[in-house]
Amino acid sequence: MKKPLRSEAWFGGTGKDAFIHRSWMKNSGHPEDMFDGRPVIGICNTASDLTPCNAHFRQLVEPIKRGIYEAGGFPVEFPVFSCGESNLRPTAMMFRNLASMDVEESIRGNPIDGVVLLAGCDKTTPSLVMGAASVDLPSIVLSGGAMLSGWFKGKKIGSGTDVWRLSEDVRAGVISMDEFLAAEESMSRSPGHCMTMGTASTMASMVEALGLSLPGNAAIPAVDARRARLAHLTGRRIVEMVNEDLKLSKILTRAAFENAVKVNGAIGGSTNAVVHLLAIAGRVGVEFSLDDWDRFGRDIPTLANLMPSGEHLMEDFFYAGGIPALMNRISAALRLEALTVNGKTVGDNIANAEVYLPDVIRPLDQPLVAHGGMVVLRGNLAPDGAVLKPSAATPALLEHRGPAVVFNDIEDYKHRIADPNLPITAQSIMVLRNCGPKGYPGMAEVGNMGLPAKLLEQGVRDMVRISDARMSGTAYGTVVLHVAPEAAAGGPLALVREGDEITLSVSRRELTLHVDEAELARRRAEWQPPVALQESGYRGLYRRHVMQADTGADFDFLLGCRGSEVPEESH
Ligand code: FES
């Protein structure tokens, strides 16, 4: 016998409460048969004028609704906190967990049987998946799609990546300020999210690799008619998923996470995915650790020739075959038995996928980077781990020893970086601290701190940089990120002093501060925590409850799945 839908607890029956639930919904003109026991499908919408990457979702929601109606469901759209990367201060990441709470409680508290998660900008995707995972109803992701390729003076320019590049060129005197400003409208020329393989495209790729979206979801441009077609099919499919009781926890298995790590290596994906996937795994209770990123990504070559690691953009990736074609290329490494939202396995979905542009999705024997997976470093400077993305780094700097130039926080960096007397050379290692989850707060994307102008003028374009911060997925450089524990939580990063020698060895997975234990103990005794944990409001709550980067920077009280049951009636 078919399991009763949870929405029937609101809309079924003849009592007072059912009257209330139906009557108020009917003020939108819904006829009686919308309440006849058909699946009610929530469309969790992150559309916002302040999240330009998601602003087109007001239109994209329409084909989703068509698909839901067509399959016999009842679509109900609801807004949730929209974490836009380009405007939010101090950093959108500080609001990812808040948004996930909004999503979780909005789904659980309402008459919803299944949900479409409509996301695009960097943090909107993980916040929606985290929230939905803690409820565990049938759920499917539709990404909003990337912007069309940027073009400036006859050359492709990519979101973020070329902002960093052009701003360094201005400081180095290679281009004029007028040229720099003229690139603005050429970079962002259509609806959609960043069209480099930054965090937004990475997270869209991650949901596809995890099996949470229909095949092809990650790469279709926002303005391509096939995005609306996919939206229509997504609407149809979620109704079937409710009928099949295909919950999120059946998709988000360990095999799915292993596949996602491997795909991340093959796309040269964002380091932010490390934190987000750990947080998602924490919600579903799947065993998945920071070390799994290194273990499963280690031998994966980067095949996607996309900025920031390579030269092309998401539009090219779509024409080349997208994620199904890329997964087909690395299929020998994948867990092909993993189930996906369309009811088929990964193996079924990618079996016939072809690469159409071999310079965009390279053959296995001509990779962009031979070992593209995320590197997890440990040592006395990062006892709980740190992360480096080899595909974005300079190979010659992956084994490096040098003296530290220490910036105590981002303000200290801003004050001193332009000082011509700053004692820094190309061999120095730039250390930035107090920018982690508690310290900033929100673990800002400042880890790829710009190099000093005096070195840029000498032609230096990369240096080893170490911090407890994150880095934009669109950025590049030999940048060690997510050092855990962070300085503000008393991690050893807090104890580094100007001139201390540090070794980075990617081959040994090592990050070592060459200061003996007795001296470190002396420094530790003098250390004072810089952060007022008793701060009021959300910032205070965030600082008190955020966990460290190595476990996903979620709130300690949000770990796990709390299910969909709400025993209490509202009236
Ligand atoms: Fe929204 Fe890049 S700023 S995707």
> At 66, phi and psi to the nearest 5?
-60, -45
Q: Is 375-532 in the same CATH topology as 38-148+190-350?
A: no
Does 85 contact ligand 1 (Cβ within 6 A)? yes
Distance 266 CA to ligand 1 centre (A): 21
Task: Specify burial of residue 146 (Cβ count, 10 A radius: 0-12, 13-18, 19+).
Answer: buried
Does 239 contact ligand 1 (Cβ within 6 A)? no
Domain ranges of the chain: 38-148+190-350, 151-187, 375-532
At residue 4 the predicted structure's pLDDT band, cuts being 50, 70 and 90, is confident
**Residue whose CA is at the smallest distance from ligand 1 atom 1:** 121
Per-residue model confidence as pLDDT tens digits over 314-362 = 999 999 999 999 999 999 999 999 999 999 999 999 999 999 999 999 9
Does 119 contact ligand 1 (Cβ within 6 A)? no
Q: What CATH code is assigned to 375-532?
A: 3.50.30.80
Distance 87 CA to ligand 1 centre (A): 10
Mean pLDDT of 353-377: 97
Per-residue model confidence as pLDDT tens digits over 94-103 = 999 999 999 9
The minimum-distance atom of ligand 1 relative to the CA of 51 is: 1
Q: What angle do CA 93, 98, 99 make, to 5 degrees?
A: 85
The minimum-distance atom of ligand 1 relative to the CA of 86 is: 3
Distance 101 CA to ligand 1 centre (A): 21
What is the sign of the dihedral through the CA atoms of 122, 124, 125 and 126? positive
CA dihedral 149, 59, 130, 138 (to 10 degrees): -120
Contacts of 442 (CB under 8 A, 6+ apart): 90, 91, 92, 93, 94, 95, 542
Above 70 in pLDDT, residue 136?
yes
Mean pLDDT of 429-457: 95
Above 70 in pLDDT, residue 230?
yes
Does 110 contact ligand 1 (Cβ within 6 A)? no
Q: What angle do CA 258, 331, 234 make, to 5 degrees?
A: 75
Task: Specify burial of residue 218 (Cβ count, 10 A radius: 0-12, 13-18, 19+).
Answer: buried
The pLDDT score that the predictor gives to residue 557 is: 98
The minimum-distance atom of ligand 1 relative to the CA of 120 is: 4
At residue 1 the predicted structure's pLDDT band, cuts being 50, 70 and 90, is low
The pLDDT score that the predictor gives to residue 171 is: 82
User: Which residues are registered as beta bridge partners of 302?
Assistant: 369
Does 193 contact ligand 1 (Cβ within 6 A)? yes
Residue type, 380: N
Residue with tokens 């001193």: 416
The pLDDT score that the predictor gives to residue 165 is: 86
Does 445 contact ligand 1 (Cβ within 6 A)? no
Mean pLDDT of 419-426: 95
Ranges of beta strands (E only) in 62-176 are 74-79, 114-119, 139-143, 150-152, 155-157
At residue 192 the predicted structure's pLDDT band, cuts being 50, 70 and 90, is very high
The minimum-distance atom of ligand 1 relative to the CA of 160 is: 2
Residue with tokens 């999210």: 193
For a mutational test of ligand 1's pocket, the pick from 83, 159, 474, i.e. the residue with the most ligand atoms closer than 8 A to its C-beta, is 159
The minimum-distance atom of ligand 1 relative to the CA of 193 is: 4
Distance 435 CA to ligand 1 centre (A): 21
Contacts of 501 (CB under 8 A, 6+ apart): 401, 402, 403, 404, 513, 514
Mean pLDDT of 459-482: 94
The pLDDT score that the predictor gives to residue 476 is: 87
Does 200 contact ligand 1 (Cβ within 6 A)? yes
The minimum-distance atom of ligand 1 relative to the CA of 198 is: 2
DSSP letters, 15-68, are SHHHHHHHHHHGGGT--GGGGSSPPEEEEEE---TTSGGGTTHHHHHHHHHHHH
For a mutational test of ligand 1's pocket, the pick from 91, 122, 195, 276, i.e. the residue with the most ligand atoms closer than 8 A to its C-beta, is 122
Tell me the pLDDT of the chain averaged across its residues. Answer: 96
Distance 233 CA to ligand 1 centre (A): 25
Does 123 contact ligand 1 (Cβ within 6 A)? no
The pLDDT score that the predictor gives to residue 408 is: 96
Per-residue model confidence as pLDDT tens digits over 383-392 = 999 999 998 8
What is the sign of the dihedral through the CA atoms of 245, 248, 253 and 257? positive
Ranges of beta strands (E only) in 127-249 are 139-143, 150-152, 155-157
% of residues, the chain, pLDDT over 90:
92
Above 90 in pLDDT, residue 438?
yes
The minimum-distance atom of ligand 1 relative to the CA of 52 is: 1
Distance 404 CA to ligand 1 centre (A): 32
What is the sign of the dihedral through the CA atoms of 399, 405, 408 and 412? negative
**CATH architecture of the domain formed by 38-148+190-350:** 3-Layer(aba) Sandwich (3.40)
Quote the pTM value: 0.97
Distance 53 CA to ligand 1 centre (A): 6
For a mutational test of ligand 1's pocket, the pick from 46, 51, 85, 474, i.e. the residue with the most ligand atoms closer than 8 A to its C-beta, is 85
Note whether 55 and 227 are within 8 A (CB). no
At residue 173 the predicted structure's pLDDT band, cuts being 50, 70 and 90, is confident
Does 165 contact ligand 1 (Cβ within 6 A)? no
Note whether 195 and 312 are within 8 A (CB). no
**Per-residue H/E/C for 260-300:** HHHHHHHHCCCCHHHHHHHHHHHHHCCCCCHHHHHHHHCCC
The minimum-distance atom of ligand 1 relative to the CA of 200 is: 4
